[in-house]
Chain A
Amino acid sequence: MKAIISFIAVLILAAIAYVGVDVLNMQYIFGVVIPYLAVAIFVIFMIVRILKWGSSPNPFRIPTTCGQQKSLPWIKYSKLENPSGVLGVLGRMALEVLFFRSLFRNLKTQLRDDSQLTYGEAKWLWAAGLAFHWSFLIILVRHLRFFTQQVPAAVQLVEMLDSFLQIGVPLLYMTDAVLLGAITYLFLRRIAIPQMRYLSLMNDYFPLFLIFGIALSGVLMRYFLKTDIVSVKMLTMSLVGFSPSIPQNPISVIFYIHLFLICTLFAYFPFSKLVHMAGVFMSPTRVLANTSRVKRHINPWNYPVHVHTYAEYEDDFRDKMKNAGLPVEKE
């Protein structure tokens, strides 16, 4: 049900763009106003979100230690899984952000009929997650060609590598296929695994459909429904140069659908779970080094508390202590 509503929501979004452009001719609204608005929302509210996270301190040093601590010099410690300094944390975070280290640990716990628990390999979520995120990033980089007058060499290199299979005309970008495949997998596992279905919210299905919609409209535009690419670039360059204008030659409606879904994603992003993109860099269990025994970690809101002092304790038990032969401060 939640999935169906999310699906319909994305269909409606696409329909809005279609009607807006094809029927109502609101090219300027969909090509200029909404993109500016969406990017502004994204930038402003992401900054707000990050500042909000940042405004709450890390009162305690609470890394999740996933390996041997640094203790005695002859015991080999785990620099990356239990970092003892900045370098270790950088390494740990690099593994986490670039290769999803923690997700790589994933296991599938199963209870056999003979009541034995088994822990099987379960790398598909990791693989699909990694494929999804990397494809998305590469596609994003490829799109830089629409936002730079001279296409940077790096972007061209990425394009070349991405299309090195040399299939079809225009050349197939592998990431397009991988992205669609990965999203499909991520969606299917949410539906197919009872626990996943049980815990999933609209907040989970909607972004999947939205990104699928973006990818699909992009693929349609590139490979099937031809679009005037020169005009598209004229529009995007005018946006980047802050002198927005809709090109003379009409751009097909599929472009506007693609763009509107992207705008929705941008505007939705700061208010959704997608903020994990920034949040992962601030997670205290990963970005803090395990140094709390070596160097005092300061809690900015540490305050004095009521304690039961030794003097009070001795007052409570003085006679018993003396009878037991324990030294006391006051006779």
Chain B
Amino acid sequence: MAKLPKPEELSKIDYTPPKTSWMDTPVVFKEGMFCHGSKPKSLDIVGFPNPRDWRPADADWKLPENWKEILLEGIAERLEKYRSFRLFMDICVRCGACADKCHFFIGTGDPKNMPVLRAELIRSVYRKEFTLAGKIFGKMAGARELTLDVLKEWWYYFFQCTECRRCSVFCPYGIDQAEITIIGRELLNLLGLNIEWIAGPVSNCYMKGNHLGLEPHTIVGNLEYMLDDIETVTGKRIKPTFNRKGAEILFVTPSGDLFADPGTYTCMGYLMLFEELGLDYTWSTYASEGGNFGFFTSNEMGKRLNSKIYAEAKRLGVKWILGGECGHMWRVLSQYMDTWNGPADFLEVPKSPITGTVFENAKSMKMVHVAEFTADLIKNNKLKLDPKRNDHLNVTWHDSCNVARGMGMLEEPRYVLKNVVNNFVEMPEDTIREKTFCCGSGTGLNASEDMDLRMKGGFPRANAVKFVHEHYGVNMLANVCAIDRATLKPLMDYWVPGVNVCGLHELVANALVMTGEKERTTDLRGEPLPGIEQKEEKA
């Protein structure tokens, strides 16, 4: 792996386009900018085509002989299946409004990372093969032949897009590069051209229920560690249940929360909150993944992985489902799950057993985001909170792309946040809410071999954090996304040292006054609470 350049070098970005036109500039695979190719085993497990050992940087990708035919048929099929795709191939006027909205373009200066050009990579082939003008006028009409070079370009750039949809906010026709990338990746998967960082978690999730491949006993074991830590902090021993039939609520969260910090602190937050509420809920080791790397593979794979959630809710006989903090998980749940695997008519409309609030907004899909759930609790005064315990933190809020632009959950987490911390500062307004910037590592690009790409893609996000860090002393970047929790930490260490990353419910649990708890001296991370050190010194 090439060494990651220093931030001073990486932030010198050259926006000058190449001398040669983009059609005549073949793709160059730069070390650190792409992920390892999928392993045969990962594709085999889920029955994907063309499992083999291959390396993206190799000239020979070991493609089936009729690869071109497969792709063209694949495009034709998808044009008939998706109005989005068909329309977005035709109506772009190349006004360029999307160009400098993409974090990968801002961070790399590579013109093919302008959403408009990334889409042109596939649009040019569409024109050649599927439109009269393209067939007659060829290059003059912006059409070009599908060649191996073009295919490689697709691969390189469709894995330099995190489907964050920021471009589609600014597009006058709502053209969504995420749709084009989703379909582009689906096409690549017809030839076995996935990346292992997606294909591996997909096969894990299919067989074991979660991306990380945590087996049932490991999930229980991991939670035990967290329960130990909670006991240390609060003096309370919590006993959650797993795979329990007859529970009122099934709780599903991204498996990242079960595995590594700072996600685990968020997970401790859920455990403490639910304990304090006396919630009748259960974890599942089978539906142990809220996220969905299948969604980054193909629509069908997304549906296959997602099916476990409703299936498990039915098997356990719960009334409704509560979902943990995640980003893309919630785009999939809110815009796809009910369509894919519904109707969930065996469930009831979610109703908070604590406040009696009926979540009419989830009437059909029957699943509530934990931030919505907690906002309702706080509004109804059901939690005893001591935000002073978070006074050592100066928090800013990162809207995760998918909950912002694929759902619109903007105020709920802010409401919760404002009630559990005293120091909250927003980042500049053009970098939050619907205009929020991606962490740069979404859609399965959070591997270790593509660090250059991740640091470049995350540059705009980090840059906004740096601004509030320097101006307002922000030292904590809170969010509701498991991928963010895993990827923003290295991003902060690289660009804005001194800023930590946490989930919303870590802060909730810090502030949450639990019945019968001992006097807390540390936060969930074992850091002394503000005021405690001085107290000890005085004593």
Contact = CB atoms under 8 A, between A and B. Distances in A.
Interface of A: 5, 49, 52-62, 64-72, 74-78, 81-82, 96, 100, 102-103, 105-109, 111, 115-117, 119, 125, 129, 193-204, 271-273, 275-276, 279-280, 282-286, 290, 292-299, 301-302, 305-310, 313-314, 316-317, 320-321, 323-327
A195 B15 contact: yes
A74 B375 CA distance: 10
Contacts of B415: 75
Given A66-B169, A290-B408, A282 B216 contact: no
A298 B171 CA distance: 26
B376 interface: yes
Most buried by B among A82, A96, A308: A308
A107 B460 CA distance: 14
Given A64-B406, A202-B140, 5 more contacts: A65-B405, A71-B412, A292-B338, A299-B340, A301-B81
A199 B96 contact: yes
Given A71-B372, A199-B120, A305-B304, A59 B82 contact: yes
A282 to B, nearest CB: 6
B448 interface: no
Contacts of A78: 408
Interface string B164-196: 010011111111100100000000000000000
B245 A68 contact: no
B434 A294 contact: no
Interface string B196-214: 0000000000111100000
Contacts of A280: 91, 172-173
11 contacts: A64-B174, A65-B405, A71-B359, A107-B170, A202-B142, A279-B173, A285-B175, A307-B307, A321-B243, A323-B217, A326-B242
B169 A310 contact: no
Nearest to A291: B364
B21 to A, nearest CB: 8
B22 interface: yes
A190 to B, nearest CB: 8
A60 B169 contact: no
B63 interface: no
A307 B311 contact: yes
Contacts of A198: 17, 21-22, 111, 117
B338 A296 contact: yes
Interface stretch (B28-36, B99-107, B268-276, B383-391): B99-107
Nearest to A84: B361
Contacts of B285: 317, 321, 326
Contacts of A66: 169, 405, 408, 434
B155 to A, nearest CB: 21
A117 to B, nearest CB: 5
A107 B15 CA distance: 17
Interface in B54-109: 79-87, 90-97, 99-101, 106
A74 B340 CA distance: 31
A323 B115 CA distance: 51
A81 B434 contact: yes
B114 A53 contact: no
A324 B172 contact: no
Contacts of B245: 327
Contact of B174 (A199, A283, A293, A307): A283
B52 interface: no
Interface in B265-310: 285-286, 299-300, 303-304, 307-308
B5 interface: no
A272 B172 CA distance: 17
Given A65-B405, A119-B428, A57 B365 contact: no
Interface of B: 8, 11, 13, 15-17, 21-22, 47, 79-87, 90-97, 99-101, 106, 111, 114, 116-117, 120, 131-133, 140-142, 165, 168-176, 179, 206-209, 215-217, 220-221, 242-245, 285-286, 299-300, 303-304, 307-308, 311-312, 315, 334-336, 338-340, 342-343, 357, 359-365, 367, 372, 375-376, 379, 404-412, 415, 428, 430-431, 433-435, 459-460, 463-464, 466-467
Contact of A276 (B17, B93, B336): B93
A69 B409 contact: yes
A96 B460 CA distance: 27
Contacts of B22: 198-199
A305 B300 contact: yes
A107 B437 CA distance: 14
B81 A324 contact: no
A100 B93 CA distance: 14
A175 to B, nearest CB: 21
A279 B171 CA distance: 13
A199 B121 CA distance: 11
Most buried by B among A5, A275, A296, A299: A296
B176 A109 contact: no
Contact of B101 (A109, A298, A314): A109
A273 B335 CA distance: 29
A64 B131 CA distance: 28
A57 B81 contact: yes
A117 B220 contact: no
Contact of A279 (B91, B304, B334, B367): B91
B434 to A, nearest CB: 4
Given A198-B22, A317-B215, A296 B94 contact: no
A279 B87 contact: yes
Nearest to B140: A202
A320 B216 contact: yes
B339 A102 contact: no
B92 A273 contact: yes
A125 B206 CA distance: 47
B16 A194 contact: yes
Contacts of A55: 80
Nearest to B207: A308
